[in-house]
């Protein structure tokens, strides 16, 4: 890292400038993974829903 970024990261008063972008990046990665899982595994969700409906009908 260059000197400007490194010195900025070391100052406690600049934490408010650093934390929101980092949290945003992490949240975006998690949300992307979650949506990717949902889109690639739609059959699993359909099977779970149909299984639940079968349980209801059996009662």
State how far the alpha carbon of 32 is from the alpha carbons of 16, 17, 22, 29, 36, in Å: 25, 24, 15, 5, 6
pLDDT tens-digit profile, the chain (59 residues): 445 555 555 566 666 676 778 888 888 999 999 899 888 888 888 898 999 999 999 88
SS3 for 1-59 is CCHHHHHHHHCHHHHHHHHHHHHHHHHHHHHHHHHHHHHHCHHHHHHHHHHHHHHHHHC
Query: Does the predicted model carry a pTM greater than 0.75?
Result: no
- Confidence (pLDDT) at 9: 55
**Closest by CA position to 50, among listed 35, 34, 40, 42:** 42
């Amino acid at each position: 890292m260059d000197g400007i970024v490194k010195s900025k990261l070391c100052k406690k008063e600049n934490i408010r400038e650093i934390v929101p972008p980092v949290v945003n990046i992490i949240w975006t990665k998690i949300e992307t993974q979650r949506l990717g899982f949902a889109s690639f595994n739609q059959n699993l969700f359909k099977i779970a829903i149909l299984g639940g409906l079968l349980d209801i009908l059996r009662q």
